Homo-oligomer: A and B are copies of this chain.
Amino acid sequence: MPDTLKDLEQKIRSFTPVSDSDMEFGLQFYKRKTFKKGQFLVQPGQYIRDFYFMKQGCVTFYTIEEGITRVMEFYTSGSFFTDLYPYIEEIQSESYLEITEDSIVYVISKLDALKVFDHSHALERFGRLSMQKAFINNFQRINRIKNLSNQERYLQLLEKRPSLFQRVPQYLIASYLGLTPVGLSKIRKRLSKK
């Protein structure tokens, strides 16, 4: 087990206890890969074979429909991610996973991930708990979208993930917030006047 996977190991153990032998079994399948800004992990039409852990960097998950880029999520250090629906259903992706900043990513194939879950009850539990956490995060995001104004959500993003604004152009953040670039610019102007 290469030492570079220490942070992934820590992340897993933050969810549930895992024996050293199970951990070693699981981590052996992960490959460390580096990507340059502008590269794609996923493009429309592809089948999703892999599951990812972002060690360092940033990837943007988006679609383009009728020429409009729609950002669904930015994944940064410490996040697990993939294009989950096509990954599960083994259908073609309709999305992009584009590296937005030079990144180090740990990659495990779906086949290997299933082996890991088969082999270790503890790691299956980790899978359940990490999915549970992702569920809760999404649920809370829905509530923010429904219950807060766009201005409030902009301010909250600025507070909770300030580094995004260094990493990613503003029009992508606007899309993530469900706004046009013009709309976000107006909000910023309104706020700067106070």
Q: Which residues of A are interface residues toward B (Cβ below 8 A)?
A: 65, 70, 72, 84-85, 88, 117, 121, 124-125, 127-128, 131-132, 134-136, 138-143, 145-147, 178
A177 — nearest CB in chain B belongs to which residue? B146
Give 11 A-B pairs besides A141-B142, A142-B142 with Cβ atoms closer than 8 angstroms.
Answer: A65-B147, A70-B147, A72-B139, A84-B139, A117-B128, A121-B121, A121-B124, A131-B131, A131-B135, A138-B142, A145-B145
Residues of B contacting A139 in the complex (Cβ-Cβ under 8 angstroms): 72, 84-85, 138
CB atoms of A70 and B138 under 8 A apart: no
Complex: A161 Cα to B121 Cα, angstroms: 37
Residues of B contacting A70 in the complex (Cβ-Cβ under 8 angstroms): 143, 146-147
Residues of B contacting A65 in the complex (Cβ-Cβ under 8 angstroms): 147
CB atoms of A146 and B145 under 8 A apart: yes
Complex: A127 Cα to B134 Cα, angstroms: 14
Cβ-defined partner of A178 (8 Å) among B131, B135, B146: B146
A126 — nearest CB in chain B belongs to which residue? B128
Residues of B contacting A136 in the complex (Cβ-Cβ under 8 angstroms): 84-85, 88
A36 CB to nearest B CB, Å: 28
**What are some 7 contacts across the A-B interface (CB < 8 A)?**
A84-B136, A84-B139, A117-B128, A121-B124, A124-B125, A138-B139, A146-B178
